[in-house]
A and B are shown apart, each in its own frame.
Chain A
Amino acid sequence: MAGPLFSQHWHRVADLRLRLRHHASLHRHEYRGEPWYVLHDTLTGQVHRFTPEAYQIVGRLDGKRTLSEIWDQVSASLGDAMPTQQELIALIGRLHGANVLSGYGDIDIDELSRRQTKQKRGKWLQLVRSPLGIRIPLLDPERFIAASYPLVRPFISPLGGVLWLATLLLALVVAGVHWQSLTDNLADRVFGIGNLLMLALIYPLIKALHELGHAWATKDAGGEVHEVGVMLLVFFPVPYVDASAAAACPDKSRRMLVGAAGIMVELFLASLAMLVWAAAEPGLLRAVAFNVMLIAGVSTLLFNGNPLLRFDAYYVLADYLEIPNLFNRANQQLTYAVKRYLLGRRDVTSQARSRREACWLVSYAVASFAYRLMIMVAIAVFVATKYLFVGVILALWSVTMTLLLPLFKMLKAMTVDDSLQGSRGRAWGWLLASLTAVALLLFLVPLPYATHVHGVVDSREPAQVRVGVSGELAELWVEDGQEVTAGDPLMRITAPELGVEVRLLEARIRQIQQELVANVRDAQAAAILRETLVPVERQLDDARQRAAATVVISPHTGLMLMPEGVPRLGSYLHRGTAVASVVRPEDLRIRTLLPAHVVERVRDDTRRVQLRLPGHEWDAAGSLLWVSPSSDHAIPSPVLSVQGGGHVAVDPSATTDDGSPRAFRRHYLADFAAGELLQEGGSLHLGGRVHVRIEHAPEPLGYRLWRDLRRSFLRLFEL
């Protein structure tokens, strides 16, 4: 029972003889196994749903009985389910508001004009409330739909369904086969300028077919479509049709089909495009097919296919669950759940008729709210960054309307409204308790806090091991990362041409010596030969020396590291190539670039440093050695840049004098000791990547979020 049995205003309505207007027709539907009556206003296409109890009243509105007679009859016939007078008045008021009643004794002209003004104002308000989703009705497509319907009619059948499914499956298989080439460098292809133009050309065509799909399905379900228009969703035009007339159709699957028709049409188009794309030669046709696939396949599933937004899938879901008006009723159910269970009120009525329905409603309300919030924030940020001034205002406006207004309403309900009278204390209790809980969690409970950066292995004084001679690597006596002492042979290079050179020179010397013997009488010639012998001997010495350098010897005691990787045996090495470096373990360090906002924290509050090599499971302890006092654009190693797999964004327009990339933002250099990492026995490469985790004192999450938020906004709006 909702409210008192009698209404104080009964005397005003008791003697009215009302009837339904002729353009309103009643249909019987089944929702969740229960009968409902749906009133269809054929003039406006609006649909209203009534319970069988309400039907008892609505059905009696024949212009002959007075409302008080109707109430008496209904009370007698319904027994326990009898309506209160207030409920009856509310029902009649609803019908009146829907313009389906007539037979008043006299018409309150003022009230009529007020209602019209209010309706007009409502449209404007709708526009003001959601400037990011404006609807512009364009034309009435009914005649076109009616004319073209016979052509489409055969496809709306089981055969059509099979055909559709077969095409879809075939396309999926083909897509699987061509997966690699299909997804190769997708982003570049999609966002190329030429392609964007083509997308813009194809998009309206596909969406128009999508909406036609809805319209034909509505026609098939027995409804009429009287409004087609364009909705400006975040300033992007999206067509829409008003298919609300389909709700009058008693068959659930038909109604679902109306909702799903758009997606089905698009998926069909995408499938066809897939087949064309696979068969066609590269060229314009193939590009068109690719774009059709992209729009009709991907975008449809992402937007229209999401039941959490009020697009196609939402209506399909609502019809499937047999919960019409799912969104509103879900929110009402949530309100009910809060009032009933949190506030302990008994004067509220549930929207749900079964436990299962209640679960559906509540979980839908929560999920869709969270999702909408996410989308809203994303859109707001997107718009704010794209269209600066106007965008910021619009974004603020939409945030206000979707987030702050409900918040304000809630506060208003808790402070001044009467609806919470009696449980206001509990409401405040819950609100404050949950706020306190969140605040405690955010600002009092310390959570582990660490900074993660990429580092590169670097040596303070690297001793390069260079190959003294060009030649093939014959033997390698040490391994990467091994400790060596000064004078240790590291590797041997075979350089066969050196031996030849030596032998050649030796032969030359022998030749000169022979010639000397032969020319012993000719003093002048002998003198010349002797002169010639000297440089050749020198050349030989040199050649011999070089031949000896084929064995590479360690210049230092320390750790031998090969940053360029271990050369393969037999590979050809040019003279002067640095094949390895020998570093002393104490000279090794991990060099990182710290973004400006973490520097202070790293410098002042570093509890522990952990180092981890990529691909390894274990951590080694490290320690902070040094942080540069000033920031710079230089990048010590390409490993740290985004292109090299790191985090530091590179400024594409600027390079330093020596051609190495420059960071987009200024960073601070920081070095960490790598001693532990060596002892753990990891294979350390100079110039290799190391993940560095710098642990700070635990801090509640709230402060961090606040800092991040502030920083993001400062950066976002360049304030």
Chain B
Amino acid sequence: MPLLKLPGDVLTRPERTLLPPGSLERPWHWLRSKLHRPAAIRRLGLRSQLPGIHRHAARLASLDVQVLAEERDGLRLALARQGVTPRLARHAFALVREVSRRELGMAHHDVQLLGGLAMLGGRIAEMHTGEGKTLTATLPAATAALAGIPVHVITVNDYLAARDAELMTPVYRALGLSVAAVVHEMPPHERRAAYAADVVYCTNKELVFDYLRDTQLLGRHRHPLQAHAARLVGELQDERLLLRGLHFAIVDEADSVMLDEARTPLILSGPAGKDALDIALLDQALALAAEFEEDTHFVRESGQIHLTERGRERLTERAQALGGGGWVGRSRREWLVQQALVARHHFQRDHHYLVRDGKVQIIDEHTGRVMADRSWEKGLQQMIERLEGCEPSDPNVTLARLTYQRFFRRYHHLSGMTGTAREVRGELWRTYRLRVVAIPPHRPSKRQHWPTISLARQADKWQWIATRVQEIAGQGRAVLVTTVNLADSEALSQRLAEAGIEHAMLNARQDAEEADTVARAGRRGAVTVATSMAGRGTDISLEEEVKRAGGLHVIVAGHHDASRVDRQIAGRCARQGDPGSVELVVCEEEALLDELTEWQRRMGQLPTRLKRAQRRREARHARERARLLEADWREDEQLGFSGKSE
């Protein structure tokens, strides 16, 4: 079925309506996630379209600029009239390829064409790291845009969004399409202009927040007819609306955006007013929590803090002494103390948050980046601020909440690309109804996997890494060391400094200079220490002599939460046929081992145990996501009386 053009304006805002899953739907899709055509057959189907594209391409290659422009306009008209049919799509792909060759000097390879076709078919293209996914995305994006469908290309961070938009602008411009990138700092009117472009590059967070802001503005007038009516009577200021509906999305790093980040819903909050929070009450709670002792008054179980019976008794006694409105109600005071205990014992400085300029800033556990505009809910932020001696910030109140699982499925056409999706193929189908197509690499990979190093202690690990870094950098190669979290990267950095090794840091604190650091990371003898996700999607370009010396060497200092992340990191080296090597260093003190029970921690070799722990954590996270989605539907059902959904 061809992709059809839907009216795209801020009032009509087409999006797919989602119905709650029926009772048989889940088992059915579970079954379908297991049953699918073999990847080879699916690739064969895509491959059969290549000759057609090449035929067009051969014809287009000889055309001069003027004729090509006519050709383009004709195609655009045909696409607008008929929608994106397979025949027209082949034609459009050939045109985009030709334009790219002329404007950027890069013609799409066959595998990129395959990836583009897969995405146009509403699937996730699994392409190896460094295969040029950015260029690949132009094929479906431009094809859809030529047909007049607004396209969103979604990436993981602002830097990538801005960079990709900028890099590909010549292609789109030559095709007569407008491009824009939406980044965090943009004011609303610029955003609105950006979303009006044919192809929009943006991050997942910005997009969802903008979407939520729109729903806030629309309020009760969610239906296009209601919105029009409201505008006519002046109840709706449509000039403040941003998005033009959810038409066509290409999600870069799809596994990261759609799964890893989907474990927590996005919450749009607004100021609640000063009086919404009683700072004195928070201080009382913090003081009270300080009196509580671990294991007597409270226990920590699987990352959560629970009060014990003794703790409850003590709380009741003390609360009576304190009196006051905030301490009335058992559930309320237990919650208060629990929050205070979490603030005191659970969140650690430099691991969960940073203190910068007298402000507490949350670190994204996942990327290791600072999330400047985020704050914890319901007084927790203020409690931590009090503990750190900062000025308590204004409390926030939730305005809207949406899960990625729901948001992405509202797109009429959803597709994605990533380097690592095969592990989560089933989940992607079950959650987003997206199939994964593995695209073979353009050139065979020269990546060498060195054996895993197992050590006893954390300190040994840093020591060993320092020695190894010196050794490899001495050979004239570039070295990238990735750590699991910020604290680790700082510990390592300190160690390297002690050893007198010059190195660059790529983590939450240095995010301003990230691009420069990445640019320098490929130089001869460069040593870069990064947290897990910093630098995802960035291409570390190597100097010629580094390539000759053996390319980039990646040291993965400990397994991450998912094996996908490890693979992603390994993909930093040996890109596009370059040489490169990767090795894994682990020790007995890895936090990942907490996943295992006592007896399992003693069974087998360390790498085996870590693999097992990693599998377990992946399963746990997958379960959390499934639970979130399920709770989302269930609660939505319960909230039917609220008369609106986000």
B635: interface (CB < 8 Å) = yes
Contact of A93 among B330, B623, B640, B644 (CB under 8 A): B640
Q: In the complex the two chains form, is B398's CB within 8 Å of A8's CB?
A: yes
Cβ contacts under 8 Å, A143 to chain B: none
Q: In the complex the two chains form, is A93's CB within 8 Å of B332's CB?
A: no
Q: In the complex the two chains form, is A104's CB within 8 Å of B643's CB?
A: yes
Contact of B331 among A5, A9, A108, A422 (CB under 8 A): A5
Contact of B329 among A9, A79, A110, A422 (CB under 8 A): A79
Q: In the complex the two chains form, is A75's CB within 8 Å of B328's CB?
A: yes
B455: interface (CB < 8 Å) = no
Q: Whole-angstrom distance between the alpha carbons of A635 and B646 in the complex?
A: 83
A16: interface (CB < 8 Å) = yes
B641: interface (CB < 8 Å) = yes
For chain B, residues 172 to 221, give those with C-beta under 8 angstroms from any C-beta of chain A: 220
Q: Mark A51-88, 1 if CB is under 8 A from B, else 0.
A: 00000000000000000000000011011111010000
**Closest CB-CB distance, A447 to chain B, in whole Å?**
38
Q: In the complex the two chains form, is B641's CB within 8 Å of A92's CB?
A: yes
* Contact status of A8 and B638, CB under 8 A, knowing A76-B325, A82-B332: no
Q: Whole-angstrom distance between the alpha carbons of A16 and B643 in the complex?
A: 10
**Closest CB-CB distance, A337 to chain B, in whole Å?**
21
Contact of B640 among A1, A96, A105 (CB under 8 A): A96
Cβ contacts under 8 Å, B635 to chain A: 8-9, 89
Q: In the complex the two chains form, is A418's CB within 8 Å of B627's CB?
A: yes
For chain A, residues 107 to 134, give those with C-beta under 8 angstroms from any C-beta of chain B: 107-108, 110-111, 114-115
Q: Whole-angstrom distance between the alpha carbons of A97 and B265 in the complex?
A: 26
Q: Mark A1-13, 1 if CB is under 8 A from B, else 0.
A: 1001110111111
Q: In the complex the two chains form, is A104's CB within 8 Å of B641's CB?
A: yes
Q: How many residues of chain B get a CB closer than 8 Å to chain A's CBs?
A: 36
Q: In the complex the two chains form, is B330's CB within 8 Å of A80's CB?
A: yes
B334: interface (CB < 8 Å) = yes
Q: Whole-angstrom distance between the alpha carbons of A418 and B302 in the complex?
A: 15
Q: Whole-angstrom distance between the alpha carbons of A500 and B332 in the complex?
A: 121
B397: interface (CB < 8 Å) = yes
Cβ contacts under 8 Å, A80 to chain B: 329-330
A184: interface (CB < 8 Å) = no
B642: interface (CB < 8 Å) = yes
A657: interface (CB < 8 Å) = no
Instruction: Pick from B19, B398, B642 the residue with the most CB of A within 10 Å.
Output: B642
CB nearest to A93 among chain B residues:
B638
B433: interface (CB < 8 Å) = no
Cβ contacts under 8 Å, B644 to chain A: 12, 106, 108
* Contact status of A96 and B401, CB under 8 A, knowing A1-B330, A82-B331, A82-B332: no
Cβ contacts under 8 Å, A418 to chain B: 623, 627, 630
Contact of B335 among A5, A104, A108 (CB under 8 A): A5
Q: Whole-angstrom distance between the alpha carbons of A80 and B635 in the complex?
A: 26
Q: Mark B613-646, 1 if CB is under 8 A from A, else 0.
A: 0000000000100010010000101111111111
Q: In the complex the two chains form, is B401's CB within 8 Å of A9's CB?
A: yes
Q: Whole-angstrom distance between the alpha carbons of A5 and B380 in the complex?
A: 14
Q: In the complex the two chains form, is A111's CB within 8 Å of B640's CB?
A: yes
Q: In the complex the two chains form, is A108's CB within 8 Å of B640's CB?
A: yes
B519: interface (CB < 8 Å) = no
A716: interface (CB < 8 Å) = no
> Which of the four size classes fits the interface of chain A?
35 or more
Contact of A9 among B302, B397, B639 (CB under 8 A): B639
Cβ contacts under 8 Å, A78 to chain B: 329
Q: In the complex the two chains form, is B627's CB within 8 Å of A12's CB?
A: no
For chain A, residues 172 to 219, give those with C-beta under 8 angstroms from any C-beta of chain B: none
**Closest CB-CB distance, A67 to chain B, in whole Å?**
9
Q: Mark B265-297, 1 if CB is under 8 A from A, else 0.
A: 101000000000000000000000000000000
Q: Whole-angstrom distance between the alpha carbons of A106 and B378 in the complex?
A: 29
* Contact status of A16 and B401, CB under 8 A, knowing A76-B325, A418-B623: no
**Closest CB-CB distance, A77 to chain B, in whole Å?**
10
Contact of B639 among A75, A79, A93 (CB under 8 A): A93
* Contact status of A16 and B335, CB under 8 A, knowing A9-B635, A10-B398, A75-B329: no
A261: interface (CB < 8 Å) = no
A267: interface (CB < 8 Å) = no
A101: interface (CB < 8 Å) = yes
Q: In the complex the two chains form, is B398's CB within 8 Å of A93's CB?
A: no
B501: interface (CB < 8 Å) = no
A674: interface (CB < 8 Å) = no
**Closest CB-CB distance, B92 to chain A, in whole Å?**
36
Cβ contacts under 8 Å, A10 to chain B: 398
**Closest CB-CB distance, A58 to chain B, in whole Å?**
14
For chain A, residues 6 to 58, give those with C-beta under 8 angstroms from any C-beta of chain B: 6, 8-13, 16, 18
B354: interface (CB < 8 Å) = no
Cβ contacts under 8 Å, A5 to chain B: 331-332, 335
Q: In the complex the two chains form, is B640's CB within 8 Å of A115's CB?
A: yes
* Contact status of A105 and B643, CB under 8 A, knowing A6-B378, A89-B638: yes
* Contact status of A11 and B627, CB under 8 A, knowing A5-B332, A76-B325: no
Q: Whole-angstrom distance between the alpha carbons of A101 and B641 in the complex?
A: 9
* Contact status of A4 and B335, CB under 8 A, knowing A10-B398, A104-B643, A105-B220: yes
Cβ contacts under 8 Å, A106 to chain B: 220, 643-644
B400: interface (CB < 8 Å) = yes
Q: Whole-angstrom distance between the alpha carbons of A13 and B642 in the complex?
A: 6
Cβ contacts under 8 Å, A101 to chain B: 641
Q: In the complex the two chains form, is B334's CB within 8 Å of A1's CB?
A: yes
B399: interface (CB < 8 Å) = yes
**Closest CB-CB distance, A110 to chain B, in whole Å?**
8
Cβ contacts under 8 Å, B267 to chain A: 8
Cβ contacts under 8 Å, A111 to chain B: 640, 643
Q: Whole-angstrom distance between the alpha carbons of A115 and B641 in the complex?
A: 11
A507: interface (CB < 8 Å) = no
Instruction: Pick from B400, B623, B639 the residue with the most CB of A within 10 Å.
Output: B639
A90: interface (CB < 8 Å) = yes
Q: Whole-angstrom distance between the alpha carbons of A81 and B332 in the complex?
A: 10
Q: Mark B531-556, 1 if CB is under 8 A from A, else 0.
A: 00000000000000000000000000
Q: Whole-angstrom distance between the alpha carbons of A82 and B330 in the complex?
A: 8
Q: Whole-angstrom distance between the alpha carbons of A10 and B331 in the complex?
A: 17
**Closest CB-CB distance, A419 to chain B, in whole Å?**
10
For chain B, residues 390 to 424, give those with C-beta under 8 angstroms from any C-beta of chain A: 397-401
**Closest CB-CB distance, A462 to chain B, in whole Å?**
74
Cβ contacts under 8 Å, B643 to chain A: 16, 104-108, 111
* Contact status of A11 and B401, CB under 8 A, knowing A90-B638, A115-B640: yes
Instruction: Pick from A9, A18, A106 the residue with the most CB of B within 10 Å.
Output: A9
Cβ contacts under 8 Å, A95 to chain B: 641
Q: Mark B1-31, 1 if CB is under 8 A from A, else 0.
A: 0000000000000000101100000000000
Contact of A11 among B378, B397, B623, B638 (CB under 8 A): B397
For chain B, residues 131 to 163, give those with C-beta under 8 angstroms from any C-beta of chain A: none
25 contacts between A and B (CB under 8 A): A1-B330, A1-B334, A4-B335, A5-B331, A5-B335, A6-B335, A6-B377, A8-B398, A8-B635, A13-B641, A76-B325, A79-B330, A80-B330, A81-B330, A82-B328, A82-B332, A89-B639, A92-B641, A93-B640, A93-B641, A104-B643, A107-B643, A110-B17, A115-B640, A418-B623
Which A residues contact B (CB, under 8 angstroms)? Answer: 1, 4-6, 8-13, 16, 18, 75-76, 78-82, 84, 89-90, 92-93, 95-97, 101, 104-108, 110-111, 114-115, 418, 421-422
A8-B401, A111-B640 given. 19 additional CB < 8 A pairs? A1-B334, A4-B335, A11-B399, A12-B644, A76-B328, A80-B329, A80-B330, A82-B331, A89-B635, A90-B638, A92-B641, A93-B638, A93-B641, A96-B640, A96-B641, A97-B640, A105-B643, A106-B644, A107-B643
Q: For the complex of A and B, list the 9 residue pairs with the smallest distance between their C-beta atoms, beginning with the closest.
A: A96-B641, A93-B638, A82-B329, A5-B335, A80-B330, A1-B331, A12-B642, A11-B398, A111-B640
